[in-house]
Amino acid sequence: MSPQGERRLLQTAVAIVTLVPLSVASLSILRGAGWLAESPVPRDLDSHFRYLSGIFLALGIAYASCIPRIEATTARFRLLGLMVIAGGLARALSLVEAGPPSTGHLVGLGIELGIVPLMIAWQARVARRWHERGGPGGAISPA
> What's the whole-model pTM score?
0.87
**Which segments of the chain have a pLDDT < 50?**
140-143
CA neighbor of 6 nearest in space, from 132, 140, 141:
132
CA neighbor of 26 nearest in space, from 53, 63, 49, 45:
53
How far is the first Cα of the chain from the last one, in angstroms, to the nearest whole number? 26
Q: What is the pLDDT of residues 95-131, one digit of tens each?
A: 999 999 999 899 999 999 999 999 999 999 999 999 9
pLDDT given at position 141: 42
* Domain locations in the chain as residue ranges: 3-133
